[in-house]
C-alpha cells in the first residue's frame, strides 16, 4: 500500500529518469575511439606509401652498388672444370656448357663489373640489371646515375643463327616507350651487327645449340 500519496510517487518516478539516460556517454566515447583508429590507419597507410615511394626513387635514381657474387671453392672448381671441358675435342659431351646465374655473375665480378651489372636467366630470355650514368641525350634524367633493366629474347633462327632481340627496357620496373630508345624493341641486334663484325661471325659459327631456362643456360658448340 502506498502511504506517501500521488506527489511522492511522482517525485520517485522523476528521480529514476536520469538513471535510464546514463548509457549514452559510453556510446559517444566508442564512436570517438573508432574515428581515432580510422584516422591512425589512414595516416599509417599514407606514411607507408611515402616511404615506399622514397625507396623506389632511391633504388632507381640513387642506386647503391650491387653486391658482387662470389663462388664457394666447390662452385668455383665446378665452373673451372666446365670451361676446361670445352678445350677437349675428344668427347662430344665436353662441347656442351651448362652454367647458372651465379657462375655468370661471379665471372662478371672477376671482370670488375659485379657492382654495376647482374644477369638473370628466364625462360627463353636473359635480363640484366645495369647501373650507369645516363648520357646527355637520354630522354629522362640525363647525366643522372640510374638503374635500368634490359630483357633480351634469345633463340636460334631456322637458319641456325643466334637471335638476340630486346624485349624490354625498364626503369624502376616501368617499361620505357620504344620511341624513347630508338625503336630498338623487337630488333634482332645480332643480325644488325653480324655482317660488319667478322669476330662476331666467327663466334656465332661455333654455336651448335642454345637453350635458356629459369636460372640456367645450356650452350653446345660445334667441333
pLDDT in tens, 159-198: 667 788 889 988 888 888 888 878 888 888 777 666 677 7
What's the confidence (pLDDT) of residue 77? 92
pTM above 0.75, yes or no: no
Confidence of residue 72 (pLDDT cuts 50, 70, 90): very high
What's the confidence (pLDDT) of residue 132? 85
Report whether 219 contacts 127 (CB < 8 A).
Answer: no
Report whether 198 contacts 205 (CB < 8 A).
Answer: no
Q: Domain residue spans in the chain? A: 5-61, 73-221
Q: Which own/partner pairs from 185-192 qualify as long-range (CB within 8 Å, at least 24 positions apart)?
A: 188/163, 188/164, 189/152, 189/164, 189/165, 190/161, 190/162, 190/163, 190/164, 191/161, 191/163
Report whether 122 contacts 138 (CB < 8 A).
Answer: no
Highest mean pLDDT among 16-25, 37-46, 89-98: 89-98
Across residues 43-54, what is the average pLDDT?
Answer: 54
Instruction: Tell me which H or E stretch contains 48.
Output: helix 24-61
> What's the gap between Cα 87 and its chain centre?
37
Across residues 93-120, what is the average pLDDT?
Answer: 88
Amino acid at each position: 500500500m502506498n502511504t506517501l500519496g500521488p506527489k511522492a510517487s511522482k517525485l520517485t518516478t522523476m528521480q529514476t529518469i536520469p538513471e535510464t539516460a546514463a548509457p549514452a556517454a559510453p556510446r559517444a566515447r566508442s564512436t570517438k575511439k573508432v574515428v581515432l583508429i580510422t584516422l591512425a590507419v589512414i595516416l599509417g597507410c599514407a606514411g607507408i606509401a611515402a616511404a615506399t615511394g622514397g625507396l623506389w626513387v632511391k633504388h632507381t635514381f640513387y642506386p647503391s652498388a650491387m653486391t658482387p657474387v662470389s663462388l664457394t671453392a666447390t662452385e668455383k672448381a665446378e665452373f673451372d672444370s666446365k670451361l676446361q671441358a670445352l678445350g677437349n675435342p675428344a668427347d662430344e659431351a665436353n662441347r656442351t656448357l651448362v652454367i647458372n646465374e651465379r657462375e655468370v655473375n661471379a665471372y662478371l665480378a672477376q671482370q670488375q663489373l659485379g657492382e654495376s651489372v647482374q644477369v638473370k636467366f628466364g625462360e627463353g630470355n636473359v635480363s640484366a640489371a645495369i647501373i650507369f650514368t645516363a648520357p646527355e641525350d637520354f630522354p629522362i634524367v640525363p647525366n643522372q646515375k640510374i638503374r635500368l633493366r634490359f630483357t633480351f629474347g634469345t633463340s636460334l633462327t631456322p637458319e641456325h643463327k643466334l637471335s638476340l632481340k630486346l624485349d624490354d627496357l625498364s626503369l624502376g620496373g616501368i617499361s620505357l616507350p620504344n620511341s624513347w630508345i630508338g625503336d630498338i624493341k623487337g630488333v634482332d641486334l645480332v643480325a644488325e651487327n653480324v655482317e660488319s663484325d667478322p669476330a662476331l661471325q666467327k663466334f656465332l659459327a661455333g654455336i651448335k645449340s642454345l637453350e635458356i631456362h629459369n636460372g640456367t643456360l645450356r650452350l653446345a658448340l660445334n667441333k
